[in-house]
């Protein structure tokens, strides 16, 4: 509890060692992750804190160059949002956000920074979702190999 009390008000809500993320950037990444995995009958990306998972993975597992490309791509997405809709990403409606991200995914003319950003955020959001506690306990019924012992399993004679 003490680290959260000592945290700067404009800083990220999790401790990161290699990257410097503002609270605004963290919230923006959360909104983008929510578009990738929206809340339905199951919790969405924001409810499962997948944006924090993405940031932690980016901090721990990626090289400095890729981290820089990620944040340049985040800025490029904001610029593309301003160009296309004359609004920041946070002020877009959900269909506009979906249209923007789908355009980035299919656009071969996107900058390398924007492509790298989208590739990282999409892959880490999906990876975080598939390995989240919610999915692993509620959606995927996992049993240790070889599985449950069933003494009454019918066996055909040879």
Across 111-133, b (16+ Cβ under 10 Å) vs e yields: bebbbbbbbbbbebbeebbeebe
Instruction: Pick from 1-15, 29-43, 105-119, 127-141 the range whose average pLDDT is largest.
Output: 29-43
Res 110 pLDDT > 90 = no
Res 158 pLDDT > 60 = yes
pLDDT of residue 94: 94
- pTM for the model: 0.81
Report domain extents, the chain.
4-139
pLDDT of residue 2: 58
- Confidence class of residue 6 from pLDDT cuts 50, 70 and 90? low
Of the candidate ranges 91-95, 125-129, 137-141, the one whose mean pLDDT is the lowest: 137-141
- Cβ neighbours of residue 74 closer than 8 Å, sequence gap 6 or more: 25, 28, 29, 117
pLDDT of residue 9: 60
Average confidence (pLDDT) over 8-35: 86
pLDDT, mean over the chain:
88
Name the percent of the chain in helix, strand, coil, to the closest 5: 60, 0, 40
| C-alpha–C-alpha distance, residues 49 and 40, integer Å | 15
Res 46 pLDDT > 60 = yes
pLDDT of residue 54: 95
């Amino acid at each position: 509890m003490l680290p959260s009390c000592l945290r700067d008000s404009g800083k990220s809500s999790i401790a990161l060692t290699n990257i410097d993320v503002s609270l605004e950037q963290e919230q923006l990444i959360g909104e983008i992750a929510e578009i990738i995995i929206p809340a339905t009958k199951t919790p969405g990306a924001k409810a499962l804190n997948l944006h924090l998972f993405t940031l932690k993975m980016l901090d721990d597992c990626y090289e400095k160059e890729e981290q820089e490309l990620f944040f340049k791509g985040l800025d490029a997405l904001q610029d593309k949002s301003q160009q296309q809709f004359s609004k920041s990403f946070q002020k877009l409606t959900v269909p506009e956000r979906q249209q923007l991200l789908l355009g980035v995914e299919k656009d071969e003319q996107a900058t390398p920074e924007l492509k790298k950003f989208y590739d990282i955020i999409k892959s880490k959001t999906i990876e975080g979702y598939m390995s989240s506690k919610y999915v692993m306990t509620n959606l995927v019924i996992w049993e240790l190999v070889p599985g449950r012992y069933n003494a009454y399993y019918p066996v055909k004679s040879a």
